[in-house]
């Protein structure tokens, strides 16, 4: 086991610079259009950072970045950090009104726009910034100057709607990112790895991809979106380009597991998170041609991408869920009741997480920050983040995910965990994938299951099959067969699309 580095005072650019000084000619980022070495990455980002500094950008500022996944996009992110500011990732697929709202809520005075995208009035094209930046690199090689930021300064502001639907800007410090990508041996990335860059930067999986590669001397490989969504070309693409590390959403993993479970055979690490893994999908991959290491990871944006990890070697036949494991690195996890008292193993409680991976809080929302980031009475005042997720400790001290607190509903007086119903559905041989929604109000409230069947008509006996596994109140009143579960552009289950389809059915 190789020793993990300590970076207690460093910021992200400090570590990238050291990698560049040690391996200047190693490939840092590659895409179909361009390849860049660590030396050139530092030279380019330093040149842009100097221009940003000359424009008044510095410590405490937030700079919006609107760009497609590319070498240039990552160079701009590093330049913003080298200038001492935090970046605000903006999704090109978002409506203009939402992008404007996020820029306003983050307090970003400057937005940098990548090539091929139309800037809003007052926003600055990256090409224009580069043309003003001059050509002379400092020190002639892997350029560097005195650090501007420290480990506790903000690195980025990422917006998440959560259960309220109101955008909340999560402020993530450098130390949290560094802990994520250098603090856990089980998912360690090294100089010999090629990491898939497959996520939108406005989605926090990109944090692990980008900085997991660049802070460890690996190659960051830009994967085309059409390849990522193609179950019939992804496996070949991963093997041909020597990609060894990949993180993806559970919903996207389920899609590939159903149609092409051998797609991940060439990977050294496959990390799956964002939603609960279906046991049947895991079994399919493990039985076909699994990656060398398959990990179930869990974590909210407020804990920086993921805070627990579980290496999945097998899934017992009767299992209705896959454990989310143990805390990574120096992170901590507590399962507590409503009075913040620890609950025994096997008892469901709310998950609280702590450690260096925690966000600073919500941008401009001190009351909400105080409500969700609480002092741990039993931990010398250390902060904990209240996840809103229901979990239990298993007998072998693994965390088992039960469901979200906002997914716990009452139907006819019974309290039901939707996640448990979904997990049980996917254990049936007749069901490949399943999503459960609550439909109706009051006495008419009921569960609706959307299922991808194993074969046509396979779910005709679903209610009877579930009756042997679940109490009556947990059996969906309606089952709708669908050819596939719709996904959002970030690879998560598109529950809004399912609900919209359900509403249309009700109108007919």
| 365-390 residue pLDDT tens | 999 999 999 988 765 558 999 998 99
Domain total of the chain: 3
- Is 452 found in the same domain as 354? no
Binned at pLDDT 50, 70 and 90, residue 276 comes out as confident
* Beta-carbon contacts of residue 64 (< 8 Å; ≥ 6 apart): 87, 88, 90, 102, 103, 106, 108, 110, 111, 112, 123
- Report yes or no on 472 lying in a domain: yes
| 341 contact partners, CB below 8 Å, separation of at least 6 | none
Kindly state whether residues 429 and 494 are assigned to the same domain. yes
* CATH number, position 445: 3.30.300.30
Task: Note the pLDDT of residue 253.
Answer: 94
Average of per-residue pLDDT across 45-49: 94
Query: Cβ distance 108 to 64 under 8 Å?
Result: yes
- Between strands 124-125 and 110-113, the pairing is parallel
Residue 217 lies inside a defined structural domain of this protein: no
Whether the pLDDT of residue 164 is over 50: the answer is no
State residue 3's pLDDT score.
Answer: 43
Q: Which CATH number covers residue 348?
A: 2.30.38.10
**Residue that wins the pLDDT comparison between 487 and 273:** 273
Confidence of residue 508 (pLDDT cuts 50, 70, 90): very low
Residues 145 and 37 in one domain: yes
Domain with residue 58: its CATH number is 3.40.50.980
Same domain, 42 and 98: yes
Pair (142, 37) in one structural domain: yes
pLDDT in tens, 292-310: 999 999 999 999 999 999 9
Q: Checking phi first, is residue 250 left (phi over 0); if not, alpha (psi -120 to 50) or beta? A: alpha
Residue 108 lies inside a defined structural domain of this protein: yes
Mean pLDDT, residues 49-78 taken together:
94
| Residue 292 domain flag | no
In this structure, the answer to whether residues 432 and 375 fall within a common structural domain is: no
The pTM of the full predicted model, rounded to 2 decimals, is 0.83
d(CA 301, CA 270): 20
Maximum average pLDDT range among 126-130, 271-275, 427-431: 271-275
Q: Which two tokens stand for residue 137?
A: 């690199």
Mean pLDDT in residue range 52-81: 95
- Does the residue 47 lie in any domain? yes
pLDDT grade for 414, boundaries at 50, 70 and 90: low
Mean pLDDT value of segment 148-166:
80
* The pLDDT of residue 322: 94
Q: Which of 97, 124, 149 is the last residue of a domain?
A: 149
Rounded Cα–Cα distance for residues 335 and 47 (Å): 47
DSSP 396-440: TS-EEEEEEGGGEEEETTEEEEHHHHHHHHTTSTTEEEEEEEEES
Output the six-digit token pair for 40: 């050139």
Please tell me the predicted confidence (pLDDT) of residue 317: 87
- Any bridge partners for residue 196, and if so which? 221
pLDDT-based confidence at residue 8 (cuts at 50, 70, 90): low
Shared-domain flag, residues 138 and 28: yes
Q: Are 143 and 46 within one domain?
A: yes
Provide the Cα torsion 92, 97, 100, 105; round to 10°. Answer: -110
**124 and 18 share one domain:** yes
Pick from 9-23, 112-126, 241-255: least confident: 112-126
The verdict on 22 and 94 lying in the same domain is: yes
* Boundary of a domain, candidates 149, 179, 195: 149
Go through the chain and tell me how many residues it has.
Answer: 508
pLDDT at residue 218 is higher than 50 = yes
Cβ atoms within 10 Å of 376's Cβ, excluding its own: 16
As given in the structure block, the two tokens for residue 499 are 């609900």
Residue-range definition of the domain harbouring residue 436 = 412-507
User: Which of 149, 176, 210 lies at the terminal end of a domain, its last residue?
Assistant: 149
């Amino acid at each position: 086991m190789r020793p993990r580095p300590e970076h207690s005072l460093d910021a992200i650019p400090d570590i990238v610079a050291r990698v560049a000084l040690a391996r200047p000619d190693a490939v840092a980022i590659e895409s179909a259009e361009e390849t860049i070495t660590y030396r050139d990455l530092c030279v380019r980002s330093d040149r842009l950072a100097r221009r940003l500094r000359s424009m008044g950008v510095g410590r405490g500022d937030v700079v919006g970045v609107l760009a497609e996944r590319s070498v240039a996009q990552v160079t701009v992110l590093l330049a913003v950090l080298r200038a001492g500011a935090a970046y605000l990732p903006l999704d090109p697929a978002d409506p203009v009104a939402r992008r404007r709202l996020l820029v306003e809520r983050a307090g970003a005075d400057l937005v940098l726009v990548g090539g091929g995208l139309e800037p809003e009035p007052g926003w600055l094209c990256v090409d224009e910034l580069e043309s003003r930046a001059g050509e002379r690199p400092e020190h002639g090689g892997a350029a560097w100057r005195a650090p501007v930021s420290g480990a506790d300064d903000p690195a980025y502001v990422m917006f998440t709607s959560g259960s309220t639907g109101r955008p909340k800007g999560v402020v993530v410090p450098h130390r949290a990112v560094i802990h994520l990508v250098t603090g856990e041996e089980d998912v360690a990335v090294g100089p010999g790895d090629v990491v898939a860059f497959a996520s939108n930067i406005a989605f926090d999986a990109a944090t692990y991809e980008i900085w997991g590669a660049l802070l460890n001397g690996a190659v960051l490989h830009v994967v085309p979106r059409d390849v990522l969504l193609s179950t019939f070309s992804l496996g070949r693409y991963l093997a041909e380009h020597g990609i060894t590390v990949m993180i993806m959403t559970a919903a996207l993993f389920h899609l590939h597991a159903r149609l092409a479970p051998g797609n991940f055979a060439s990977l050294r690490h496959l990390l799956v998170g964002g939603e609960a893994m279906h046991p049947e999908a895991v079994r399919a991959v493990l039985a076909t041609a699994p990656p060398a290491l398959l990990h179930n990871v869990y974590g909210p944006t407020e804990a920086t991408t993921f805070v627990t990890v579980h290496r999945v070697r097998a899934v017992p036949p009767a299992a209705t869920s896959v454990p989310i494991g143990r805390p990574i690195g120096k992170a901590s996890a507590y399962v507590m009741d409503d009075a913040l008292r620890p609950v025994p193993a096997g008892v469901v409680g709310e998950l609280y997480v702590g450690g260096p991976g925690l966000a600073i809080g919500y941008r401009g929302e001190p009351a909400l920050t105080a409500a969700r980031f609480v002092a741990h009475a039993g931990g010398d005042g250390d902060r904990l983040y209240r996840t809103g997720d229901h979990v239990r400790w298993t007998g072998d001290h693994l965390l088992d995910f039960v469901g979200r607190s906002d997914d716990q509903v009452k139907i006819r007086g019974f309290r039901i965990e939707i996640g448990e119903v979904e997990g049980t559905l996917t254990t049936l041989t007749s069901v490949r994938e399943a999503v459960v929604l609550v439909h109706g109000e009051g006495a008419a409230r009921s569960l609706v299951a959307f299922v991808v069947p194993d074969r046509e008509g396979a779910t005709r006996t679903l209610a009877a099959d579930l009756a042997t596994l679940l109490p009556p109140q947990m059996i969906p009143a309606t089952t709708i067969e669908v050819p596939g579960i719709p996904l959002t552009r970030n690879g998560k289950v598109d529950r809004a699309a399912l609900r919209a389809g359900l509403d249309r059915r009700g109108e007919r």
